[in-house]
Amino acid sequence: MKILFVLNSRIPTKSYDDADRVMWWLGLQLHGMGHEPIFLVKKDSVCHFGPVFVLDEKKMLSAQIPEDIDLVHFFYRPPAEKFDVEKPYLITNFENSLEAETFDRNTVFLSANHAKRHGGKVFVYPGLHFQEYGAVLLDFPRNYFHFLGDAAWRGKNVRGAIDLASKAGVRVHIIGGSRVNFRKGLRITLSPSARFHGVLNSDGRNMMLNGSRGLLFPILTHEPFGLAVPESLYFGCPVIGTPYGALPELICDYNQAKKQTANKPKATCTSDVGLLSTKQTDLLEAIQNTDQFKPERCQEYALDRFSSVRMAQDYLQLYEKVLNGKPLHAKPPALTEAPDTSFLPLGE
């Protein structure tokens, strides 16, 4: 099958952007399964396993789609005024909407929670191409915790991670942020408990994760998915964070998590790979007792649930459906009112 992957970005990415990496890993996995991924992306992109065409965002999309393509897979929401695609297609949505809106019937969300909050049902968990991550040293000494993500975004709550580390008397390494941040107003983070590393290359990130006791992830927004979670688990790191967005279904019992309402999660959930709570006291206790979480089990859990093989298999089922002329949703998913964008609570 010839599949055109479309994204208004450059590949391969040098950042921690979810859409870029998920598209790359899916294409690589499908190529290994005998399919033909083709990329329509920004100029200066390169790919060793599929042809690359340059996306012109000023032109109509149909004029840029090769004739022999079987299916088009968008990894962003293309503008309506340029969308005239007649080929079978689907759209993976990576974002949280900030206003009431309606989505294409062939939209795929990142988790059950992400879908439910936007009026949909169809989702595919992103999967990692674990071979890219190099050696995992499960027996390596683990002497600190880590935070992984865009520290400049306040919803990721890097301050909360640092505060937890300080109260617990442990060190936290911040991967993806700087101590001095000018992006959203001058912010200087002063704490002897934290060390900032900025955006690390893969070798630097892997080295940090191999020495970590766990991921501190006290997010204050509903995370659609969060690649930091399976990445950390793969390196044997349990997840200690808040029960918002997709996290309960990723860390705790999925069948239990999916029964919760989209915007009212349980205050606490726990499993053998992490603990989520809206109370700092619970999180601090988990930090002090990380020996209860076994690195081998964390890695096994990641391999079972979050591989690019599983992701490719899930998407192939959706591809088959749209190729047969069936929409993924019976009616367009709709967010009927603007969501509350205030930060979610993390109490004492």
What's 240's domain CATH number?
A: 3.40.50.2000
Task: Flag residues of the chain having pLDDT under 70.
Answer: 177-190, 253-265
Kindly state whether residue 33 falls inside one of the protein's structural domains: yes
Angle between helices 158-168 and 280-288 (to 10 degrees): 60
Largest CA distance in the chain: 61
Kindly state whether residue 43 falls inside one of the protein's structural domains: yes
Q: Give the C-alpha separation, 273 to 238, whole Å.
A: 5
Our measurement of the distance from residue 345's CA atom to the centroid of its chain's CA atoms, rounded to an integer in Å, reads 22
The CA-based angle 103-108-111, given to 5 degrees, is 115
User: 196 - beta bridge partners?
Assistant: 174
* Count: domains in the chain: 2
Residues 28 and 84 in one domain: yes
Task: Give the chain's mean pLDDT.
Answer: 93
Helix (H) or strand (E) holding 144: strand 144-148
Residues 268 and 328 in one domain: no
Contact 57, 23 (CB under 8 A): no
Residues 285 and 151 in one domain: yes
Residues 210 and 330 in one domain: no
Residues 146 and 61 in one domain: no
Residues 16 and 107 in one domain: yes
Q: Which two tokens stand for residue 15?
A: 């950042």
Kindly state whether residue 265 falls inside one of the protein's structural domains: yes
Q: Which two tokens stand for residue 188?
A: 């200087």
Q: Give the C-alpha separation, 259 to 80, whole Å.
A: 34
DSSP class of residue 226 equals -
Residues 81 and 196 in one domain: no
- Helices (runs of H) and strands (runs of E) counted in the chain: 10, 17
- The per-residue pLDDT for range 58-77, each reduced to its tens digit, is 999 999 999 999 999 999 99
Length of the chain, in residues = 348
Residues 191 and 237 in one domain: yes
For 172, the 3-state DSSP assignment is: strand
* Backbone phi and psi for residue 141, each to the nearest 5 degrees, phi listed first: -55, 135
User: What percent of the residues of the chain are helix, what percent strand, and what percent coil, each to the nearest 5?
Assistant: 30, 20, 50
pLDDT on residue 258: 54
Question: With the CA atoms of 328, 266, 280 and 282 taken in that order, what torsion angle do they form, in degrees rounded to the nearest 10?
Answer: -110
Residues 193 and 72 in one domain: no
Q: Give the C-alpha separation, 114 to 96, whole Å.
A: 8
pLDDT on residue 185: 46
Kindly state whether residue 150 falls inside one of the protein's structural domains: yes
Kindly state whether residue 347 falls inside one of the protein's structural domains: no
Kindly state whether residue 348 falls inside one of the protein's structural domains: no
DSSP class of residue 12 equals S
Helix residue ranges per DSSP H, the chain:
18-32, 112-117, 158-168, 202-210, 228-234, 247-251, 254-257, 280-288, 295-305, 308-323
Residues 182 and 201 in one domain: yes
273: containing domain:
134-305
Q: Give the C-alpha separation, 16 to 296, whole Å.
A: 25
Residues 14 and 108 in one domain: yes
- The per-residue pLDDT for range 152-173, each reduced to its tens digit, is 888 999 999 999 999 999 999 9
Kindly state whether residue 345 falls inside one of the protein's structural domains: no
DSSP class of residue 261 equals B
Global pTM reads: 0.94
Residues 73 and 164 in one domain: no
Q: Cis peptide before 224, with omega less than 30 degrees from 0?
A: no
Kindly state whether residue 342 falls inside one of the protein's structural domains: no
